[in-house]
Amino acid sequence: MSAAAEKAFGYDECRKTADWLLSKTRARPKVGIVCGSGLGGLAEVLEGREVFKYSDIPNFPQSTVPGHAGQLVFGTLKGKPCVCMQGRFHLYEGYSVQKVTMPMRVFKLLGVETVILTNAAGGLNRDYKVGDVMILKDHINLPGFTGVNPLFGPNDDRFGTRFPSVSDAYDRELQQVARDAASKLGYADFLRQGVYCVVGGPSFETIAECRLLLKLGADAVGMSTVHEVIVARHAGMRCLALSLITNISVMDYDSREKANHEEVLETGRQRAEHMEKLVSTIVSQLVQN
């Protein structure tokens, strides 16, 4: 990436974006929420909503994926000041990994301390079913094996250290909060905990690729979240991530099943209320912590 491109997503540009937002709202969010495919309804439950279209925010990327509204929503959830991304960005849209993750740095400069990310994912674990919700305990950054890492390039110490540890990428205390919230809501039957593997997309995985990822230790596969988490942790924010299992990955050459985006969105719609209640309950527990 050129020096000019690196600068476009650097500290000064992110600071300008954050300052523009702070000048337009009195909200000072402590929690950032990222909505995955079909899960944008999470932003609708915020109280006192202030909405900014991505296209109106200086330096902000634009969401091009169906099921992603493309707006930043400020408000309160269970009394906690939040900012919610109603639509995220992906490598397959043609964006650089630095641009995909820029919003996480803006979150940091807005004052966000905890990030809750949701996504739609394909189930690799044979025990998983469509509609299950998986708490991420770890991830595999498959593009990272070939150098696709959002921290690639010069490091700015104002965001974080040159070599951040990600062995604790997913906050263990927040994972317990999520488990407790699911138990309280009666969601234990469809709650899972596992490893998420990110791939580039936009094509869904082949049968051979699914078999490989399962052998590597992945329980679910998707096209987002991991790069955002790396940048959020680099900036010192706590992270919790939840995958809605919207389809079961095909691993049988005799099967006629095929993954498709419409199935992803439909499962999101069916499970939306559960996800909203789960995230809301998690946030309510953060108020007490």
Catalytic residue among 223, 232, 237, 241: 223
- Interatomic CA distance for residues 92 and 34, integer angstroms: 18
Active site residue 247: yes
Query: For every one of its 289 residues, what pLDDT tens digit does the chain have, with 9 covering 90 and above?
Result: 444 444 567 899 999 999 999 999 999 999 999 998 777 888 888 999 999 999 999 999 887 776 667 899 999 998 999 999 998 999 999 999 999 999 999 999 999 999 999 999 999 999 999 999 999 999 999 999 999 999 999 999 999 999 999 999 999 999 999 999 999 999 999 999 999 999 999 999 999 999 999 999 999 999 999 999 999 999 999 999 999 999 999 888 888 777 777 777 777 778 888 998 999 999 999 854 4
Question: Is 90 known to be catalytic?
Answer: yes
To the query of whether residue 68 is one of the catalytic residues in this protein, the response is yes
Running DSSP on this structure, what letter comes out for residue 266?
Answer: H
Out of 6, 95, 113, 261, which one is annotated catalytic? 261
> 19-22: long-range contacts at Cβ-Cβ below 8 A with a sequence spacing of 24 or more?
19/109, 20/57, 20/58, 21/52, 21/57, 21/72, 21/106, 21/110, 22/110
**Fold category of 3-288 in CATH:** Rossmann fold (3.40.50)
4 DSSP 8-state letter: H
Q: Does pTM top 0.85 for this prediction?
A: yes
Residue of 90, 139, 227, 234 with catalytic role: 90
Annotation marks residue 128 as catalytic: no
Q: Which of 93, 141, 232, 249 is catalytic?
A: 93
